C-alpha cells in the first residue's frame, strides 16, 4: 500500500468518485488549473475537464448557493471553501437553506453535497486562517460534520460522504495535511460516518479528540503511560458515536475532551453534557475540557493558544488526581 498524506488521500478519493459517478463535480476558488491552494485537487482539471472541475470567483455565498442548486437537480457537487475562516459569507446558505431543505420540503427535496474546507491553526496563518468553526454548524442542525485525523480515514470518510444523501461539512485539519502519513489502501473503500475509533485502549481515563489534536493527545498519552488512558478519535462529530464514548467512560470513570476551538460553547461542552447525562454514576471526577482560549486566534502566540501535548499531559495528570 502507498504511504500517503491527507492531501494525497483526499485527492485519490475525489478521483475515484469522479470516475465512478459522472454526477460528481468540483467547484471552488483556484481548484482547477492551479490544483487548489493546498494542492488537494491537483491533476483533476486535466483529467476531467473544466465542466467537472470548476474555478469560481472569490464568492463563498455564490459557491455554496450554486452547489445547492446543482445538488437539488441531480448532481453531486463537492465545493471547496479555501479556508474555513472564509465560510462565514456562505453561513446563510449552509444553515438556512442547505441544512433545512429536506425538513422544510417535508422530505420532497434534498441537497446531497459535501463541503470540503481546511480547518484549524498551526501554519502561522493568524486569526483569519486558523479558526475551527465546527460547533456553529453542529448547533444549526441538518448537517453531518466530519473531521478525520489521518489519510486512511480521510479517504474512506470522504467517499462515504460523497455517496450519501445528506449534506456534509468535511473538515480537513490543515496542520497535519502533510505531516500525518500512513499506508492507505489503493482503490475503493469506505468508512461509515458516525463511528468513532479507539486509537489506544486503557482503563485509567477516556480522552476524546479529533482532527489535528488527536495527534497531540496521542503524544500526551504515550508520554504518560502511567495514566493508562483510552484515546478515542471521534472522526465524525455529528452524528456523534455516543455509544463508543459512553462505553469507554463507564469503564474508566474519567473523561477529558481535547479540541483547538475556543473552550466556551465549543463542541467539547456538548460532549461533556452528553457524557454527564449518561455516565453520571460512573464518573469519579469532573469532566475536563482542554481547548483553545476564548480569544481570536493569535499569530505570534499560536503555540500557546493550541492545546499541544505538554498542556494536554498536564491536564490529564490533574484529572487523574481529581475527585467529584
**pLDDT of residue 214 exceeding 80:** yes
Q: Catalytic residue, from 127, 129, 259, 282: name it.
A: 129
Residue 207 banded pLDDT, cuts 50, 70, 90: very high
CATH number for the domain spanning 163: value is 3.40.50.970
SS3 143: coil
Residue 323 is predicted with a pLDDT of 62
Whether residues 23 and 170 share a domain: the answer is: yes
Name which of 244, 181, 238, 217 is nearest 312 in CA terms.
217
Whether residues 245 and 291 share a domain: the answer is: yes
Residue 321 is predicted with a pLDDT of 83
Q: What is the 3-state secondary structure (H, E, C) of 10-27?
A: HHHHHHHHHHHCCCEEEE
Expressed as residue numbers, the domain containing 246 is 197-321
Whether residues 177 and 39 share a domain: the answer is: yes
Name which of 311, 222, 195, 300 is nearest 258 in CA terms.
311
Burial of 141 (0-12, 13-18, 19+ CB in 10 A): exposed
Whether residues 201 and 138 share a domain: the answer is: no
Which of the listed residues 183, 211, 239 is the one where a domain comes to its end? Answer: 183
Q: Tell me whether strands 3-5 and 197-200 are parallel, antiparallel or unpaired.
A: unpaired
CA atoms within 13 A on the CB side of 295: 10
Residue 16 banded pLDDT, cuts 50, 70, 90: very high
Name which of 265, 243, 269 is nearest 257 in CA terms.
269
Averaged confidence pLDDT in the chain = 96
How many domains, in total, are found in the chain?
2
**pLDDT of residue 324 exceeding 90:** no
Q: Rounded to the nearest 5 degrees, what angle is found at the Cα of 72, between the Cα atoms of 23 and 113?
A: 60
Whether residues 177 and 29 share a domain: the answer is: yes
Whether residues 23 and 154 share a domain: the answer is: yes
Whether residues 159 and 42 share a domain: the answer is: yes
The verdict on residue 192 lying in a domain is: no
Mean pLDDT of 177-206: 97
Residue 2 banded pLDDT, cuts 50, 70, 90: confident
**pLDDT of residue 315 exceeding 90:** yes
Residue 262 banded pLDDT, cuts 50, 70, 90: very high
Q: How many residues does the chain have?
A: 324
Which of the listed residues 183, 211, 235 is the one where a domain comes to its end? Answer: 183
pTM beyond 0.95 = yes
Whether residues 241 and 274 share a domain: the answer is: yes
- 259 catalytically annotated: no
In the chain, the percentage of residues whose pLDDT exceeds 90 is 97
Instruction: Return contacts of 120-123, CB within 8 angstroms, 24+ apart.
Output: 120/84, 120/173, 120/174, 120/175, 120/211, 120/212, 120/260, 121/175, 121/260, 121/297, 121/302, 121/305, 121/306, 122/174, 122/175, 122/176, 122/212, 122/302, 122/306, 123/174, 123/175
166: Cβ contacts below 8 Å, ≥ 6 apart: 110, 112, 143, 144
Amino acid at each position: 500500500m502507498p504511504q500517503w498524506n491527507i492531501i494525497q488521500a483526499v485527492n485519490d478519493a475525489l478521483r475515484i468518485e469522479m470516475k465512478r459517478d459522472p454526477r460528481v463535480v468540483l467547484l471552488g476558488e483556484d481548484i482547477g488549473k492551479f490544483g487548489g491552494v493546498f494542492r488537494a485537487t491537483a491533476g483533476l482539471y486535466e483529467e476531467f475537464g473544466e465542466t467537472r472541475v470548476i474555478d469560481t470567483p472569490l464568492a463563498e455565498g455564490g459557491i455554496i448557493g450554486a452547489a445547492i442548486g446543482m445538488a437539488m437537480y441531480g448532481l453531486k457537487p463537492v465545493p471547496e471553501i479555501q479556508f474555513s475562516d472564509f465560510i462565514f459569507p456562505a453561513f446563510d446558505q449552509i444553515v438556512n437553506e442547505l441544512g433545512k431543505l429536506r425538513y422544510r420540503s417535508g422530505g420532497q427535496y434534498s441537497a446531497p453535497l459535501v463541503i470540503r474546507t481546511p480547518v484549524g491553526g498551526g501554519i502561522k496563518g493568524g486569526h483569519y486562517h486558523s479558526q475551527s468553526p465546527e460547533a456553529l454548524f453542529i448547533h444549526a442542525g441538518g448537517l453531518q460534520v466530519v473531521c478525520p485525523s489521518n489519510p486512511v480515514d480521510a479517504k474512506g470518510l470522504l467517499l462515504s460522504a460523497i455517496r450519501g444523501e445528506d449534506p456534509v461539512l468535511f473538515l480537513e485539519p490543515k496542520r497535519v495535511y502533510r505531516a500525518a502519513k500512513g499506508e492507505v489502501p489503493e482503490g475503493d473503500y469506505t468508512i461509515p460516518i458516525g463511528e468513532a475509533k479507539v486509537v489506544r485502549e486503557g482503563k485509567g481515563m477516556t480522552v476524546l479528540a479529533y482532527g489535528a489534536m488527536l495527534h497531540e493527545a496521542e503524544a500526551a498519552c504515550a508520554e504518560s503511560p502511567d495514566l493508562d488512558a483510552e484515546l478515542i478519535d471521534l472522526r465524525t462529530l455529528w452524528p456523534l458515536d455516543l455509544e463508543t464514548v459512553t462505553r469507554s467512560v463507564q469503564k474508566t470513570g474519567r473523561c477529558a475532551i481535547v479540541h483547538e476551538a475556543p473552550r466556551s460553547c465549543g463542541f467539547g461542552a456538548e460532549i461533556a453534557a452528553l457524557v454527564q447525562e449518561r455516565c453520571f454514576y460512573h464518573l469519579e471526577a469532573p469532566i475536563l475540557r482542554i481547548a483553545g482560549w476564548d480569544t481570536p486566534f493569535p499569530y505570534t502566540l499560536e503555540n500557546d493558544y493550541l492545546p499541544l501535548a505538554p498542556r494536554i499531559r498536564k491536564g490529564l495528570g490533574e484529572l487523574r488526581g481529581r475527585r467529584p
